[in-house]
Amino acid sequence: MGGPAFERLRSSVVSKLTDVPKRILIGRALRSDRLGETLLPKRIALPVFASDPLSSVAYAPGEVLLVLSIAGVTAYHFSPWIAVAVVVLMFTVVASYRQNVHAYPSGGGDYEVANTNLGPKAGLTVASALLVDYVLTVAVSISSGIENLGSAVPFVVEHKVACAIGVIVLLTLMNLRGVRESGTLFAIPTYVFVAGVFTMLAWGAFRALVLDDTMRAPTADYVIKPEHQGLAGFALVFLLLRAFSSGCAALTGVEAISNGVPAFRKPKSKNAATTLAMMGLLAVTMFCGIIALAAATDVRMAEDPAKDLVHNGVPLGPDYVQNPVISQVAEAVFGAGSFLFIVLAAATALVLFLAANTAYNGFPLLGSILAQDRYLPRQLHTRGDRLAFSNGIVLLAGAAALLVGIYGADSTRLIQLYIVGVFVSFTLSQTGMVRHWNRHLATEKDQAKRRHMVRSRAINAFGAFFTGLVLVVVLVTKFTHGAWVALLGMVIFFATMTAIRKHYDRVAAEIAAPEGPSDDSVRPSRVHSVVLISKIHRPTLRALAYAKLMRSDTLEALSVNVDPAETKALQEEWNRRGIDVPLKVLDSPYREITRPIIEYVKSLRKESPRDAVSVIIPEYVVGHWYEHLLHNQSALRLKGRLLFTPGIMVTSVPYQLQSSEAAKRRARRQQEWNAPGSVRRGPAQVRSKENTDHKA
């Protein structure tokens, strides 16, 4: 019977063709015991986990002004008060999450807090919200980076979807190389950006307060045509709430540090809490500074600049490209085309691209935890060659690229979907922390510890109230502008993960070993061995010899009559050789091979349900992929069908042809690499194959 182990050799061929490019792109594989070398010091952890909230100051101020422009330039005087509200919220969230990282340092973050204290449904809701938010973080950050880069390079704006997807691919490859390696590379532009923004704020303040210079943004002479003139009462309050919710984009990514605690060096919780404080202080200072300079330099922004921005009584038209607020402020402070302006513009674009790295670290880690809890496919729990969660990284990249394509890499459209998920997780997480402290206070007797717990509970309670209020504001003000898409995504994630968990639970219950005796542990009464025969050759003789060694209760050879002449020749040679195994021939008037064999072995089981049937299949093993096209694949089809037949054991007896030596030599050369798709987890690299096939 022909038919080599096709899948195994095909995998070897594919591995040979892809191994060299893979090593060039992501580097040599790392041993599991080198995981400790990938842990991050605070100076690297800050740009790795905080690049999203730090970089959001490049677009969050602009989102505030865009919303206020609906009421015209007169509404801009509310921007400082909105900035103050965002600052209060930022400090509240940072203080709350400092409690989280101390109480739950395992890396589960908001998901673990909600799951432990509020129940599995709340935990799954948080996980769904965070997964959606991480995908949006990549899409928004990269789209905004493309727009910032486009202010200096028009080609990028003209092909922004393709450029954005190209950046996603590049970031994916960099993250596949490992957290520490990508973090070291990403640290430089993040720190250049922070230094550039603080230089701009300092120089702008010096020019305004000391030199009394007049700084004007390139849009200072434009007039905003308001959509709604003279808003008052409830309409004005609603507008301000919407502007505040847009400014809250500055808080996205704060939760990533609580998910990334295991990636910090020891003491992990302390280092994570310190990084949180540094991130919050830097983010609010830059956010408020840019809002202040935007007001001082008369920056003008409009949701539809082609129609709503007017110069000398004429709308600017569709050819006008509206630059982000940070670019306009930098041009006013440093001067268009100056060295510092170019450096800040380049650093802003880079850090916005790299802000997606927060999601590249958070999404795979959260996916790994969810996979461990059986809410996502278990493949997301395994580490790749560079000890990163490679499958999660690739999944995130694919989802973000799809979103960028659908929304045309437009950050203004994408940001309407944003921050809903993060405030869902904020609110449930802080509510869970209140329950956490209540539970511990019920048993704690030490007064010093109780005072600390009461203080922590107060911080988390205020955080839960404030973030819950913001969540309501976000839902009310952004629902019709696109927030419903994020909610739909959360529902889809929730339903999918629930279905996956039910599947895993059903399978676990079905295969669980019982306490007492069962049909699977009771020894079969007898074993019937059947050797499949197509003709008499070396593979057949080896399979027969192996079958005899098994000492089954009964042994017979089985062939299917699809060609009477060949069947007659087989029977004559069988008798001539005096083979001491009975040969049974099944008629097949429709020239089928698989069905008669399946029906026959089923009939053996039906006659004696307590007996086991062992089907032994001789196989060729060839060394080249094209040789598979020249051999019958009936053995593969048979094995595939027999796997679904209870009580049937399938054994392959391979016979290596000379060409298989080439595959053997390739396998030897690849022994230093991990096999494609192998499971790498924990201190040792374990490879197992749970079937009854015997391979030489």
Question: Per DSSP, what are the bridge partners of residue 330?
Answer: none
Question: Nearest Cα to 642, choosing from 597, 608, 612, 688?
Answer: 597
pLDDT of residue 11: 46
**Residue-level pLDDT at 691:** 38
Task: Give the total residue count for the chain.
Answer: 696
- What pLDDT was estimated at residue 690? 36
Cβ atoms of residues 474 and 104 within 8 Å: no
Check residue 360 and give its pLDDT: 81
CATH superfamily of 37-505: Amino acid/polyamine transporter I (1.20.1740.10)
Residues (pLDDT < 70) of the chain are 1-39, 107-108, 150-154, 157, 177-186, 228-233, 253, 382-388, 412, 415-416, 510-524, 622-634, 658-696
What's the number of CA atoms in the CB half-sphere (13 Å) around residue 294? 32
Burial label for 390, CB within 10 Å (0-12, 13-18, 19+), is buried
Q: Model pTM?
A: 0.66
Hey, what are 85's tokens? 């509200």
- Residue pair 556/597 in contact (Cβ under 8 Å)? The answer is no
Q: Quote the pLDDT of residue 510.
A: 63
Q: Write b or e for each residue in 147-177: b if 16 or more Cβ atoms lie within 10 A of its Cβ, otherwise e.
A: bbbbbeeeebeeebbebbbebbeebbebbbb
Alpha-carbon dihedral sign for residues 111, 182, 191, 322: negative
265-292 burial, b if ≥16 CB within 10 A, otherwise e?
eeebbebbbbbbebbbebbbbbbbbbbb
Q: Give the start-to-end residue ranges of the domains of the chain.
A: 37-505, 527-669
Q: The tokens of 363 are what?
A: 């999404």
> How many CA atoms within 13 Å lie on the side-chain side of 377?
6
pLDDT of residue 382: 66
Q: Identify the three-state secondary structure at position 40.
A: strand
Q: In what order do the strands lie in the sheet with 223-224?
A: 223-224, 309-311, 314-315
**Whole-number Cα distances in Å, 659 to 178, 536, 629, 638:** 38, 21, 14, 24
Q: Which residues contact 503 (CB under 8 A, 6 or more apart)?
A: none
Taking Cα atoms as reference points, which of 356, 374, 337 lies closest to residue 411?
A: 356
Which CATH number is associated with domain 527-669? 3.40.50.620
Instruction: Tell me the C-alpha distance between 590 and 587, whole Å.
Output: 9
- pLDDT on residue 513: 53
- String of DSSP letters for 520-540: TTSPPS-EEEEEE-SS-SHHH
Matching CATH topology for 37-505 and 527-669?
no
**Per-residue pLDDT reduced to its tens digit, 462-474:** 888 888 888 888 7
Question: Do residues 371 and 360 touch, judged by C-beta distance below 8 A?
Answer: no
Contact 171, 141 (CB under 8 A): no
End-to-end CA distance of the chain: 17
Q: How far is CA 330 from CA 54, 202, 206, 320, in A?
A: 17, 12, 14, 19
